A and B are shown apart, each in its own frame.
Chain A
Amino acid sequence: MSVTAMPHLPLVEEIDEATVSDLALGATLLGTGGGGDPRVGALMAQAAIREFGPVRVVDPQAVGDDGVVVPVAMIGAPTVILERIPGGHELDLAMQGFERLQGRPVIATMPIEAGGINSTIPLVLAARRGLPLVDADGMGRAFPEVQMVTLGAGGAKAWPLVLADESANVVSISGARDNASAERLARAAVVAMGGSAVVAHYAVDAQLLREWAVPHSVSLAVAIGRALREARAHGDDPIAAIAPVCGARRLFSGQVVDVQRSTVAGFVRGRLTLKGLDVDAGGRAEVDFQNENLIVRSEEGVLAAVPDLISLVEAESGQPLTTEGMRFGLRVHVIGIPASPLWWRPEALPLVDPRAFGYDIDPIRMEDPR
């Protein structure tokens, strides 16, 4: 079982400093309103590439059986990540700790999520260690909880899990009841490590990678970022520009007339109300979010819901918007992007369907025009 490449998606073979900018912009859209600002991660990746050279990208089909692929990410409070920026070397420590624990060599790294800051963190490790980056990830987007990962649905374990910080504190979790427990233990340790750390977990072998990683999501983020950048430079329609690579469609165009937010158990939950503009004049729509956008509804019913991607861009510039940046008066397009087909497999869907977020509705699958 494998997923074939999309016909319109140019595959990335190497990532240099300039490519990082496109990747980060695309990752902001794939972050579907959350995922953390990729800016700090992008600056880290660019600095590492400047020092150690560009990163080689490998196709998930081409990864060999001589070791494991280990995703790395930042874990912790955004406030801390933006203030106590990593040193870079803690990624080496996490990787070394992982190899000791796992007993198999790490042959490549990859993002655990294609959206947000964690799309760029693996580039830092890849550049520092000369490791290839697999053109894939475990979500094809961003989700608020790490166990919401396709790899887990396919049987990958969150452990062994290694956390490391800049001061050479290394914490290993060598066993856990389930992936959610491993995540809970890790978060407790992260607090003691000053509120943020790097994490290496969800190691996969070549077979699991081929069957359960979302393929070509690194290329996808780069292609989306490039299309958005070029559309802005030429004054073109951003949605038309990205549609051929990701199957995006406009769901609603409107102006933000209300934003409600509350912080519940570490997550920012809220609702955005839009008043229709242009073709949607006279209509209304609501977008609910929990860090990421979850569901968009209009008078006609549910327009889209998780696991499909719901992203907002500023109407004028096409700039992807985060839920944090939402405010009254913004004119936006709501964009729907079909989720990876992997999420629609029976083992995966319950992790991320509307019911996983407390909505008593059946999932509705967005048609993929590609």
Chain B
Amino acid sequence: MSARIGIDVGGTNTDAVLLAEDRTILASVKRPTTPDIESGVRAALEAVLEGQDPGAVKLAMLGTTQCTNAIVERRGLRRVGVLRLGAPATTAIPPLADWPADLRDVVLAEARIVGGGHHFDGREIAPLDVAAVRQAASDWQGEVDAVAITGVFSPASFMHEEMARDLVRDKLNVPVSISCEIGSLGLLERENATVMNAALTGVAERATGGFIQALRAVGVSATPYLSQNDGTLMTLGHAAEYPVLTVASGPTNSLRGGALLSGRMDAVVIDVGGTTADLGALRDGFPRESGIAVEIGGVLTNFRMPDLVSVALGGGTIVRRTSAGVEIGPDSVGHDITRRALCFGGDTLTLTDVAVLGGLGLGDPGAVRHALNAADAREVNAVALRVLDAALDRMRTSAEPVTVVAVGGGSFLVPDDLAGAVEVLRPSHHEVANAVGAAVAEVSGEIDRIYHLDGKPRSTLIEEARQEARQRAVDAGADADEVRDLELEEIQLAYLPGDAVRIRARAAGPLSGHELLPGGIERASAHG
């Protein structure tokens, strides 16, 4: 029977699962994440394949935080030549004006605003200034490692961006990112996302290269994929071109894993790790997207990100007694929990210790009792409940209580009596939900564009967009017979006269030739 591997590289642990095509979990492991990533991935691969036939593994899916960390730590980023097509408009705000200075210094080689771009109705603001684009490209030889191009209203009219990209590629052999393929309306946020994408191309190349080497080292010749922000897969080639689309893959994989493990397609998943509890909402088994601009590393962007709420509540969160009562976090002992928590013989009172006092069968309750009396323990639990309740409220869209799926190593912190929850489910294998989410991911295609009706009925355009999204999913490797619509949305553009309409369509399906058999996730055996 053929099998697939799902791997999730988190800040603390690298998780791996081996999943059979009948959805049996053949093995699951957790290994520490290593600074070089690759050796941790390799260790997890070796462990999860112990006693298994590597030749049976046909697919390998990786979810990784490498791109996110690169932005947060300002490490391994490429120097970007930034080209904006919009003059004489847009010159009032230079590119990257709202970036934190230290990140801008690392990323920005030079920015130029040249003639080009469009109005909302498709008219040109100015013809593309071909000479200026060529000049920038030749000036940037040897000066930039990547180029980002953003044109005004490119989500509606992308010709100038494509022309500029071709002109740059004539002179420069570096990755070129264009904004219509990355973000939505809102010039500055889309430009930010595009520049960030260009800056991350090097990190992505190293991550994908490392993944291929790790697979090769353990004898797996499977087709590798990377999971992306919306819970679907990209080929490694695609990932190298659009790395910014992977920055939220970790939380997304937890959400998708929570859906698959619990069998609930509409729920709120709470993933509790060592430092934080991350909440996200599932709609039809996929993460609900954020409707507002999302900040990454201090920069506002507007590409598709899951709607997440993170609170400082994890297994390692430090609990302090003060004169005013007990204080929870926000700091955490993180992965040092097995050394520093009281119940494991350490010297620090953590939320795990409080849970141990409450009957969690872990470590030594006796080591905790002297540090916290019953009244204080009750107060800690009450505060934690309040924090999670408030976070859950932010995930709900109506007064209707929701199903909560608790996953992750610290999910024992999620109480059963959340006010906004109709039920709290704790599926088995929840501790590796993120790797499961990676393993079961599908491929998708999407369209997000502004159309001009030009006398055509809206329904025709909507159907065109739907078919194009489905075709893109098939082009990305989805089984044409299994593709289904995930989303079809028409967004009115307020205050604009005439006939512009924004249509978003998204479709997804299982990888052609690798469909999982129907049913729930089952565990056959376990080690690791």
Q: Which residues does A use to contact B, with CB under 8 Å?
A: 39-40, 43-44, 46-48, 76-80, 82-89, 124, 165-168, 191, 194-195, 255, 257-258, 263, 266, 268, 325, 327-331
Contacts and interface: CB of A to CB of B under 8 A. Distances in A.
A255 B86 CA distance: 42
B375 interface: no
Contacts of A77: 120, 493-496
Give the secondary structure class of A's interface. Answer: mixed
A364 B63 CA distance: 58
28 contacts: A39-B98, A47-B92, A77-B493, A79-B185, A82-B185, A82-B186, A83-B120, A83-B152, A84-B89, A84-B153, A85-B93, A85-B187, A86-B92, A87-B89, A87-B92, A89-B91, A165-B89, A167-B88, A167-B89, A167-B125, A194-B123, A255-B393, A325-B292, A328-B397, A329-B393, A329-B395, A329-B396, A330-B394
B398 interface: yes
Contacts of B120: 77, 79-80, 83-84, 194-195
Contacts of A263: 492, 494
B478 to A, nearest CB: 32
Given A84-B125, A195-B497, 5 more contacts: A39-B98, A47-B93, A77-B120, A167-B89, A195-B121
A78 B494 CA distance: 8
Given A84-B152, A85-B92, A255-B393, A166 B125 contact: yes
A48 B497 CA distance: 31
Interface string B90-103: 11111001100000
Contacts of A84: 86, 89-90, 117, 119-120, 125, 152-153, 187
Contacts of A44: 92-93
A331 B390 contact: yes
A83 B185 contact: yes
Interface of B: 86-94, 97-98, 117, 119-121, 123, 125-126, 152-153, 185-188, 292, 390, 393-399, 492-497
Nearest to B397: A328
A251 to B, nearest CB: 21
A167 B177 CA distance: 28
Contact of A268 (B121, B394, B494): B494
A124 B185 contact: no
A325 B291 CA distance: 9
A46 B93 CA distance: 9
Nearest to B492: A263
A46 B97 contact: yes
Top 10 A-B pairs ranked by shortest CB distance? A77-B495, A88-B92, A329-B393, A166-B89, A194-B119, A44-B92, A85-B90, A87-B91, A166-B88, A43-B93
A40 B493 contact: no
A46 B97 CA distance: 9
